[in-house]
Structure 1
């Protein structure tokens, strides 16, 4: 099983967890044609799409998936925000089986209508934690093998930037900083963790090299900063 990263920033987010026979898509903020290409045009193996919230960089191309009859899963609030009916509503703390994936959504803290993170299990990967667009992580998670966690900005870099006050305040109130990401990881037991994947870095208010180095140094775990075109092995065992 591997993770293919098609986009991980404000220009568009999309990740695919897949093997030869099965694929789960996280977010649909990237053009559908790029998703098709990443899957070698084998849409038959896609068991579903999880969408965290309604903002365009995560939700924009949802209609293309619906038109192709690919099941889309999101909270009632996310679908209501876009006036979309007839899709697969999922709720916090209620597990759902999608193919061989077991998905347990949980509530996040963002400036939108009922955003969700996802605690994902598959026999080939173990547990995967996916949390993006949230200013902190409100829960602890057991036995996570692979962390996909937002690390959007660092306060000292933000303080030096020329970003306007409105955007700065929104960033502080709706996205996870490096310091908060570090604290969230420190609060959890990482003894079973193989990979930490830092996602949704701000283009102007982060430093990918320093973020990766500092997180890897802090926890001794293989750490990545998500970038378009990257592929990462998500096997349950590290070797």
Structure 2
């Protein structure tokens, strides 16, 4: 059976990524409201009853603001590291909290979810890979630089949510104050289009069917520019820009064919 993926929202106004099979699914982050999460999933024909857990990448509000209401209403366990929980100020009652540790796979039905450390200006940030019956999907956003952990896992993915946050020229010439520009491109901020493109060109496996370019800056990037940049090097990979305003379609991810 395949995996199904969608970005319910991607950007500084909220992030939420869905990965699941026919029977169970997980959300990576929940930074939009419970109502909006429900509404968008319904439009896509996805059932929240299939969602079995929320995994938290880090404590910034655009990744966790929807968790309390969503987890309470649907009694979803929230997997989060102890340091992220301390800094998040999430309530510790009303829904199940579960420990998250890097490189310790967590089984959600037939899905295996593994967190691994990343470079970002948060207390204990992690990225994720989700595997199922030989299929691997990665969620690589809010990354200051493509460290060896990211490179290793990206090179094994059949599909990936990959941050392409800013264009260097647009950021340099934009209205942001210097300290914020420095934070964004300082190695623990966000991936630029060029950094993400180098990762894509040099480490994308031939069998990667989809890349969802994620967490684009509203002020310092352009969706068409980013899509065009990646499409030139995509080969057979479908390039999708995840929106900060709406959900993407649901994409079907299959295992790579066996060569004989």
Judge same fold: TM > 0.5, yes or no.
Answer: yes
1:134 is matched with which residue?
143
Distance 1:20 1:121 in 2: 14
Aligned twin of 2:77 = 71
What does 1:99-118 correspond to in 2, within 5 Å?
99-118=109-128
For 2:86 and 2:68, how far apart are their aligned partners in 1?
Answer: 14
Runs of 4 or more off by more than 4 Å in structure 1? 83-86
Is 1:120 aligned with 2:138? no
2:174 aligned with 1:148, yes or no?
A: no
Distance (Å, rounded) in 2 between the aligned partners of 1:42 and 1:232: 13
1:147-182 C-alpha deviation (Å, 9 max, x unpaired): 111100011111121111122112112111111111
Query: When the two structures are superposed, what TM-score results if normalisation uses the length of structure 2?
Result: 0.84
Deviations 1:206-238 (A, max 9, x none): 121121111121231210110122113132158
User: What do the CA deviations read for 1:88-121 (whole angstroms, capped 9, x no partner)?
Assistant: 1211111111122111111011111100100111
Runs of 5+ in structure 1 lacking a partner? none
Unaligned runs of 5+ in 2: none
For the residues of structure 1 that align with 2:142 and 2:223, how far apart are their CA atoms? 17
Matched, 1:235 2:253: yes
Choose which of 56, 59, 62 in structure 2 pairs with 1:57. Answer: 62
Q: Give 1:206's aligned residue.
A: 221
| Structure 2 SS opposite 1:215 | helix
Contact 1:151 1:177 in 2 (8 A): yes
TM-score normalised over the length of structure 1: 0.91
From the superposition, tell whether residues 229 and 82 of structure 1 become closer, same or farther in structure 2 (CA, over 3 Å).
closer
Equivalent of 1:43, from 40, 48, 51?
48
Q: Does 1:223 align with 2:260?
A: no
TM superposition shift of 1:189: 4.3
Instruction: Please state how far the C-alpha of 1:83 moved relative to its aligned partner.
Output: 4.5
Q: How many residues align?
A: 238
Task: Map 1:126-205; keep pairs closer than 5 Å.
Answer: 126-138=135-147, 139=149, 140-141=152-153, 142-173=155-186, 174-205=189-220
Q: Which stretch of structure 1 is more off in the superposition, 108-117 or 70-79? A: 70-79
